[in-house]
Amino acid sequence: MRHFILIPVLIAGGFTLSACAEKGDETVERALQDVNVVDESDLNDVMLTVADPNEAVSYFQRSLKSTPDRIDLQRGLAKSLVRARRNTEGVSAWTKVTKMQGTTADDTIDLADAQIRAGEWDQAEKTLDSVPPTHETFKRYRLEAMVADANQEWSHADSFYETAVGLTTRPASVMNNWGYSKLTRGDYSEAERLFGESIRQDQSLFTAKNNLVLARGAQRKYTLPIIPMDQTERAQLLHTMALSAIKQGDIETGKGLLREAVSTHPQHFEQAVRSLQALENG
């Protein structure tokens, strides 16, 4: 009898083991799915940062073929197109994002950014106007300032730039933009101040250094400012200052600055050499 009793117990144990195995398989499958989600998220981040922009575009386009309704992938495609400087396509991609379920005000701002890059200034202004005024971000005000600049609405531009500077811990680039705005208006001393502030925030920003020299040259200040620069940068800035002097009609000063630029550059400075030869040949 003991043997007959044992058989049902074994059978029951078999069913139990089978059920445990099925539950185990489900658990493993769920775990693998979770891992895949994490891995995909990491890969998306890589594609948006270190990957070649055009490779990233291809990656997100392939991903969207199987899951076209995923807004995160559509955002990734839009960002990658802008990174690849395919701005017209970027506008189309961001427009699609703004019409998907789950879109945010930041998506609309990114659409305006793409429109500006594509030269669609009027459309960008309309897009920014559609963002609720309570949505206050650095990027929103930086773009608002750029649009105001394009419209020559100087007081609005200054207000937007000032607000943008207060909303970021890295204001160097927006200060450079603000300085360039002042430069185009002919407010050279204020432009010089803003470029100096930009360089103090980011000593590697060569564009601000070059703009600073332009602002000084416009005031006939033909000496380099005391700012961090390596030898190559010094030569390039001397060349910029020389061209500024020549534009002002100070030809001999320009020649002297060009000679100094040629002798300062650690390598052959072809651009400065050609400029100098053109002047000396009349």
Give tens-digit pLDDT for 10-51: 344 544 444 444 454 555 444 434 444 446 667 788 888 877
Give the model's pLDDT for residue 280.
86
**CB crowding 63-95: b at 16 or more within 10 Å, else e:** bbeeeeeeeebbbbbbbbbbbbebbebbbebbb
Crossing angle of helices 105-117/87-97, nearest 10°? 160
Alpha helices in the chain (DSSP H): 2-49, 53-66, 71-83, 87-97, 105-117, 121-129, 138-150, 154-166, 172-185, 188-201, 206-218, 231-247, 251-264, 270-280
Give tens-digit pLDDT for 184-200: 999 999 999 999 999 99
What is the C-alpha separation between 43 and 37, in angstroms, rounded? Answer: 10
Write the CB contacts of 172 (distance below 8 Å, at least 6 apart in sequence).
198, 199, 201, 202, 205, 208
Q: Kindly tell me if the per-residue pLDDT of 70 is higher than 70.
A: yes
Predicted confidence band of residue 96 (pLDDT cuts 50, 70, 90): very high
SS3 204: coil
Give tens-digit pLDDT for 135-181: 999 999 999 999 999 999 999 999 999 999 999 999 999 999 999 99
Give the model's pLDDT for residue 39.
60
Q: Which two tokens stand for residue 176?
A: 């450079």
CATH code: domain 42-130 is: 1.25.40.10
Handedness of CA 131, 132, 133, 138 (dihedral sign): negative
For 270-278, what is the mean pLDDT? 93
What is the C-alpha separation between 179 and 37, in angstroms, rounded? Answer: 45
Q: Which two tokens stand for residue 244?
A: 């500024």
Q: Does the domain made of 136-221 have the CATH classification 3.40.50.10860?
A: no
For 201-205, what is the mean pLDDT? 97
